[in-house]
Every structure is written in structure tokens, then in C-alpha cells.
Structure 1
């Protein structure tokens, strides 16, 4: 079994962003959302490590963050944190989309 290190790194980025938002601004919603979506992305990376075709949880988490943080970036024009998270999330959505289109391995 090979580990999905990119997925785990993405999950760590999301969770640490929530913690940093709480530390710097005292934002409890940032902390809750960061830990929730970081946890979902981490669980999705673990599932994908077990079965490379099981991308759905990761896709839902990263797709939601792409939409939400993309809108925040569009409205605020602030790269940190909204633009960074939106950019990482859209790259993750693209990566997962490519994984879904891969041809299954023949036994």
C-alpha cells in the first residue's frame, strides 16, 4: 500500500490554516472549519491510500473548499488565507479528477 502523501499534506495545510486563523484572530469558526475540512481531507487521503479509486470524500472536501474559499478570495482579493486555500483546493480537485479518469489496473 502506498500512502497518499499529497492528500495528507493538503489535509495538514487546511487544518493548520484553521489553527493559525484562531491563533491570530481568535476566530472560532476558522478553527472549526479548518479542523473539520482538514479531518475530512485526511480521512479521504487515508481511504485513497487503501483504495486509489476511492476519491469521493477527498473530492467533496476539496470541491467545497474550492467554492467557498474561491468566493471569499473573489470578494476580498486577499491571497492569504482565501486565495491560498482556494488555489490548493482547485489543484487537489484537478488531481482527483485525473485519478478518476485513470484506467483500472488489469489483474
Structure 2
């Protein structure tokens, strides 16, 4: 069971919900639920086959780039900086998982 992957997916979905609750941003809610769902599905795939990292790698890579760009433009650590950092850590974790 890929608890780290499922936790990452839950954090993404919760972050989207919090963006909606605090700022009324429907886009944050939709993006959080979409990326959270893809990440949860990717974590499910890794739980069944540890070498099947494609979906989770793609979703965390895209999220790292998008949120990293938002962090660079805004300079705000919350939420863009934290999400880009978590996503980058997930990308590194997945690359290590496939190498070992």
C-alpha cells in the first residue's frame, strides 16, 4: 500500500477544497479534485505494481511545474510554494522508486 502517495493525493484534494472555502475559487476546487483523483489512482497503481509510476509521476510533475510557476510569479509560500515543493519531492521519490 502506497501510503505516501495516498497522503499526497489527500493533501492535494484538501488544498483545493480549502482554496474554495477561503477564497471562493471554483478553479482551485476543480483542480484539487482532478489532480487529487489522478494522484490517488496513481498511488493505487503503485500499490499493485511498484514500477507503475506513470500516472502519479505525470500528475505530480505537472503540478510541480504549474505551482512552481505560480510561486515564482507571486512569491507566496502558501499554497503555491508548499504544493510545488511537495510535488517536486514526490517526483524525486518516484524516480528513486523506479531506479531501485
Greater Rg over alpha carbons, structure: 1
TM-align CA RMSD: 0.4
TM-score by length of 1: 0.93
In the TM superposition, 1:48-87 aligns within 5 A as: 48-87=46-85
Moved over 6 A (4+): none
| Structure 1: unaligned runs, 5 residues or longer | 103-107
Q: Which runs of 5+ in 2 are unaligned?
A: none
How far apart are the structure 1 equivalents of 2:63 and 2:99?
Answer: 22
The aligned residue for residue 38 of structure 1 is 36
CA distance in 2, matches of 1:74, 1:19: 23
Q: Tell me how far apart the structure 2 counterparts of residues 100 and 6 of structure 1 sit (CA, whole Å).
A: 15
> TM-score, normalised to structure 2's length?
0.99
Cα distance in 2 for residues equivalent to 1:32 and 1:79:
21
Displacement of 1:10: 0.3
In the TM superposition, residue 6 of structure 1 has moved relative to its aligned partner by 0.3
Deviation at 1:100, TM superposition (A): 1.2
**2:86 aligned to which of 82, 88, 93:** 88
